[in-house]
Structure 1
Amino acid sequence: MALSSGAPALRTERLDLWHPAASDLAGLHEVVAPEAVRRFLGNRPTTMAEESARLLRNAGSWALYGYGTFVMRPAGGDTILGICGMFHSWRGFGKGLDDVPEAGWILGEASWGKGFAKEAMRAGLAWFDATHGPQRIACMIEEGHHASMRLAHALGFEAYAVHQVEHDERPLVLLERLNAGRPREHLP
């Protein structure tokens, strides 16, 4: 069963947010290919195979959990600007990032500084809360990615830990968004 229905899943003032489709692969690879975009994504070249795996993980999150990342396009347009949303995560290092909803966003360089990520993530979070109920959502951002940290804070995420990835210079800042009035969960 295809996720895409021929219409965006969500619309904002300037953006259409779509479920992922197989036809998105080339556009998604194009978004992530530039070194400037990858600099906080492990800073290594990407391949079509790696972006295919990312697309399949995102589609799998939708199929298995009923939520995943959206493919972001300008309202009424076809160009892929990036991806954003909540996906089901299992990072494998504990610290509150295993078997949980995780927020994430990746935008192409041409979309930076325009408020697209904030606009899309606000719509995605509102949809997630309304559809799946208020719950903890995790997020991880490579240390030094100031624009993403500002966005995460604006969306209500707060840092709770740091994780050092083997063979990586910069640690990951682990963040979470808790609902107002809910106590913080104990994290291992």
Structure 2
Amino acid sequence: MSVPVLVTERLELWRPQASDRAGLRALIGPGEVRRFLGGMEANDADVFARLLRNAGSWALYGYGTFMVRHRGRPEIVGNCGVFHSWRGFGPSLDDVAEAGWIVGKSAWGKGYAQEAMAAALDWFEREHGAQPTLCMIEQGHRASEAVAAKLGYVACDRVAEKDERPLIVYRRPAANSGAKPLAEWTRAQPA
């Protein structure tokens, strides 16, 4: 399966590569960005572990998060998509397709998370079939709650991480994005 480069009106999305490590570190470096990432540090080990998890989802399941940049620019402004997760929350929440988005501080409030996720969800459903997806958002993260609602996610459960931070689980029924047809998002990735 050829993994596409997705192109939206303002953004380009691509499958993570080893060369993206420094850009990912810059993305999640600011404390305000990491605030809702479960206490993650922006050190080399945590950044590399995140990059490996992203790559591992692609390798094992054929889908994962995309790196995101403004069209025609090299800087990474986000990490968004659908990935395979196992968090230890039980059968209804583990071993399922989970959506997630991280957007850099300079890109907040511009609709980039919604734009990138609409493209990623559309690609996911076309490549892997229409199926529900979940996302987990730390309680009180209003910006992500708004993105989830715009993408068609509805709160359905509540769980707690090891540090007891409350997470709200959202579910999105299959084929609910209202996204543009795949042909309008995709450009084949060069070999």
How far apart are 1:180 and its partner, in Å? 6.5
Residue of structure 2 in register with 1:98 after alignment: 94
Q: Could you tell me which of 148, 160, 165 is aligned with 1:152? A: 148
Q: Distance in 2 between matches of 1:75 and 1:45?
A: 28
Matched, 1:174 2:169: yes
Q: Distance in 2 between matches of 1:154 and 1:68?
A: 21
How far apart are 1:63 and its partner, in Å? 1.2
Task: Give secondary structure in 2 for the equivalent of 1:51.
Answer: helix
What is the one-letter code of the residue matched to 1:176?
R
Q: So what's the TM-score if we normalise by structure 2?
A: 0.86
Residue of structure 1 in register with 2:116 after alignment: 120
Residue ranges of structure 2 left out of the alignment (5+ in a row): 177-191
The question of whether the paired residues in 2 share the 8 Å contact of 1:101 and 1:138 is answered with yes
Task: Give secondary structure in 1 for the equivalent of 2:79.
Answer: strand
Residue ranges of structure 1 left out of the alignment (5+ in a row): 182-188
| Further displaced range: 151-160 or 88-97 | 88-97
Q: Distance in 1 between matches of 2:162 and 2:16?
A: 31
Task: Give secondary structure in 2 for the equivalent of 1:26.
Answer: helix
Aligned-pair identity (%): 55
What is the one-letter code of the residue matched to 2:149?
H
Q: Please list every run of at least 4 consecutive aligned residues from structure 1 whose deviation after the TM superposition is greater than 4 angstroms.
A: none
List per-residue Cα deviations over 1:90-115 (Å, max 9, x = no partner).
Answer: 11121622111100000110010011
Query: After the TM superposition, which residues 59-138 of structure 1 pair with which residues of structure 2 at under 5 Å, given as runs?
Result: 59-94=55-90, 96-138=92-134
Residue of structure 2 in register with 1:49 after alignment: 45
* Number of residue-to-residue matches in the alignment: 175
Residue of structure 1 in register with 2:187 after alignment: none
Task: Give secondary structure in 2 for the equivalent of 1:46.
Answer: coil
The question of whether the paired residues in 1 share the 8 Å contact of 2:125 and 2:175 is answered with no
What is the one-letter code of the residue matched to 1:65?
Y
Q: Could you tell me which of 137, 143, 146 is aligned with 1:141? A: 137
CA shift in 2, pair 1:44/1:179, >3 Å = closer
Higher relative contact order (CA 8 A, sep 6+): 2
List per-residue Cα deviations over 1:105-151 (Å, max 9, x = no partner).
Answer: 00110010011111000011111111111101111000000010010
| Further displaced range: 128-137 or 40-49 | 40-49
Q: Distance in 1 between matches of 2:147 and 2:91?
A: 22
